[in-house]
Amino acid sequence: MESVKLKTNVNRLNGKIEIPGDKSISHRSVMFGAIAHGETTVTNFLPGEDCLSTISCFRKLGVRIEEENGKLRIYGAGFEGLSEPSELLDVGNSGTTIRLLMGILAGRPFFSTLVGDQSIGKRPMTRVTDPLKQMGAAIDARQNGAYTPIAIRGGNLTPIHYQLPVASAQVKSALILAGLQADGKTTILEPAETRDHTERMIRQFGGEIEKDNRVIMVEGGQKLTAQAVHVPGDISSAAFFLAAGAIVPESNITLKNVGLNPTRTGMIEVLRRMGANLELIQKNKDSYEPSGDLVIKTSNLTGTVIEGDIIPTLIDEIPIIALMATQANGTTVIKNAEELKVKETNRIDTVVEELQKLGAAIEATADGMIIHGNSRLTGGTVSSHGDHRIGMMLAIAALLCDGEVLLENPEAISVSYPNFFSHLNKLIQ
């Protein structure tokens, strides 16, 4: 097992970084490029392992995808342009790849098998396989359709009216992608608003999708047209440096071109509530995916309660918010976040276990955690548990530690932020 010695006892972070492309939007750009007609180009695509898994799956489905100087070219020929793969479709560690891909494959009249790594093998798939079976796809998987490997023979899809049992953009997107191939109008009801990149991209590619509060309606049989997509920086990656800037003394960090889609900005709201010294400079307000620059300086933070509808807008940021809360005045309570248990790891358990090793006062609850502030962080051997966001959170925690910190399995970080350590080192110097 590989491990690295993390930088500790850091006195200040200073400088500017360009946040790499958004993971959710990068995945969707490849998928929409593949199902649209014509040549789609993608700039600022995230070359993280997860998004590379999406490219590899679509190549196996017969789509020509070229990469030159960081720019992708995808030659789409509509849903009908996809062909039966002769190999397994391996999604690696990527939940977005497998769930959205299932929605696409559900309408294709051929056989395919989806596999992934050990973590994917533990993540619940019934939430997607059940409604897709209701629409008419033939799907089987380990434990009655619950876990990978998953075999799909797509079919003629019938639209459904479906109430999502969990607030999940992956499930919603899978049903929208299946709905685009169904014979009529598919209606989806969300329990809380989740990231809407799929809806925005349908519109960008010339399609139509209606949204009325938490009800989403999409007609099947639409023809999508290739586009030039520019991917904004990932706010979920920026979050690590927002937290670092707020909690490391004498810091001043500028994060350039960060995606500011309002279904993703819960972290900004929490920073403000906690009293962070944060400035937001909006830039592309009117584009399909708005973005801007963020400036964060060392802040005097106060604990807060995070619960309810804001949870889906910051679900991936909870590990780093937990770390930030260890440095705030007072207690922070995170509730209604049981979805954390089915992420790349059980993120309630892994966050609590690893931060406790470093001396934090943090407890797990049934649906979140309670974090006591003003903790002095010490040191020790910690693990990412193979989860990119746990690895990055621990690297930021180490900056405050006064003892040595060793991180096991740091390689997981390349899933979403391959140049994370070079960006961090640039800010330390």
The set of catalytic residues is 316
Is 23 annotated as contributing to ligand binding?
yes
User: Closest by alpha carbon to 381, among 406, 352, 351, 400?
Assistant: 406
Two tokens, residue 301? 């933070």
- Binding of ligand S3P by 265 (CB under 6 A): no
Comparing CA positions, the residue from 180, 260, 289 lying closest to residue 224 is 180
Q: Binding site annotation covers 347?
A: yes
Contact between 26 and ligand S3P by CB under 6 A: the answer reads no
Strands ordered across the beta sheet of 111-115: 89-90, 111-115, 147-153, 138-141
Which token pair is 46? 């995230």
Among 96, 129, 291, 409, binds ligand S3P (CB under 6 A): 96
Q: What is the DSSP string of 325-376?
A: HHTSBSEEEE-S-GGGGGSSS-HHHHHHHHHHHTT-EEEEETTEEEEESSPP
Tell me how far, at minimum, the Cβ of 96 lies from ligand S3P, in Å. 4
Least distance to ligand S3P from the beta carbon of 94, Å? 9
Residue keyed to tokens 């009801």: 189
Answer yes or no: is 200 a known binding residue: no
Q: Does 104 bind ligand S3P (CB under 6 A)?
A: no
Q: 86 labelled as ligand-binding?
A: no
* Nearer CB in complex with ligand S3P: 224/318: 318
User: Whose Cβ is closer to ligand S3P: residue 196's or residue 354's?
Assistant: 196
Amino acid in the structure at residue 113: T
Q: Could you say which DSSP state residue 85 is in?
A: -
If the CB atoms of residues 246 and 315 are measured against ligand S3P, the closer one turns out to be: 315
Q: Do residues 224 and 36 touch, judged by C-beta distance below 8 A?
A: yes
How far from the centroid of its chain's Cα atoms is residue 254's Cα? Answer: 22
Does position 94 bind ligand S3P by CB under 6 A? no
Among 195, 347, 385, 388, binds ligand S3P (CB under 6 A): 195
127 — phi, psi (to 5°)? -60, -25
Query: Is 118 annotated for ligand binding?
Result: no
Contact pick of 24, 97, 304, 409 for ligand S3P (by CB under 6 A): 24
* Nearer to ligand S3P among residue 234 and residue 408 (C-beta): 234
Q: Is 389 annotated as a binding residue?
A: yes
Amino acid at 298: T
C-alpha–C-alpha distance, residues 290 and 15, integer Å: 23
Q: Which of residues 325-364 bind ligand S3P (CB under 6 A)?
A: 339
Question: What is each CA distance from 269 to 146, 294, 325, in whole angstroms?
Answer: 35, 13, 14
Segment interacting with ligand S3P (CB under 6 A) among 79-87, 168-176, 214-222, 361-369: 168-176
Quote the crossing angle between the two packed helices 235-247 and 266-273, to the nearest 10°: 20
Spatial distance between the Cα atoms of 429 and 287, rounded to a whole number of angstroms: 35
For position 291 contacting ligand S3P by CB under 6 A, the verdict is no
327 known ligand binder:
no
Residue 315 touches ligand S3P, criterion: CB under 6 A: yes
| 316 labeled part of a ligand binding site | yes
Are the C-beta atoms of 133 and 139 separated by less than 8 Å?
yes
Whether the Cβ atoms of residue 36 and residue 78 lie closer than 8 Å to each other:
yes
Least Cβ distance, residue 315 to ligand S3P (angstroms): 5
Q: Considering only residues 119-148, where is the footprint of ligand S3P by CB under 6 A?
A: none
Q: Which H helix or E strand runs over 395?
A: helix 388-398
Least separation in angstroms between residue 294's CB and ligand S3P is 20
The distance of closest approach from Cβ of residue 298 to ligand S3P in the complex, given in angstroms and rounded to an integer, is 29
In the complex, the smallest distance separating the C-beta of residue 320 from ligand S3P, rounded to whole angstroms, is 13
Q: How far is the CB of 169 from ligand S3P (least distance, A)?
A: 4
For ligand S3P (CB under 6 A), the number of binding residues is 10
Using the rule CB under 6 A, give the single segment among 162-170, 174-182, 245-253, 267-275 that binds ligand S3P.
162-170
Q: Is 53 in the site for ligand S3P (CB under 6 A)?
A: no
Cβ distance 116 to 93 under 8 Å?
yes
* DSSP character string of 254-302: EEEEEE--TTSTHHHHHHHHTT-EEEEEE--TTSSS-EEEEEEE----B
Name the burial class of residue 310, with classes exposed (0-12), middle (13-18) and buried (19+) by CB atoms within 10 angstroms of its CB.
Answer: middle
Residue 28 marked in a binding site? yes
For residue 33, the 8-state DSSP code is H
Residue with tokens 């899978």: 174
Piece of 39-47, 164-172, 290-298, 397-405 that binds ligand S3P (CB under 6 A): 164-172
Q: Which residues sit in the known binding site for 3-phosphoshikimate?
A: 23-24, 28, 168, 170, 316, 343
Q: Which residues sit in the known binding site?
A: 23-24, 28, 95, 123, 168, 170, 316, 343, 347, 389
Q: Which residues sit in the known binding site for phosphoenolpyruvate?
A: 23, 95, 123, 170, 347, 389
Binding site for ligand S3P (CB under 6 A): 24, 96, 168-170, 173, 195, 315-316, 339
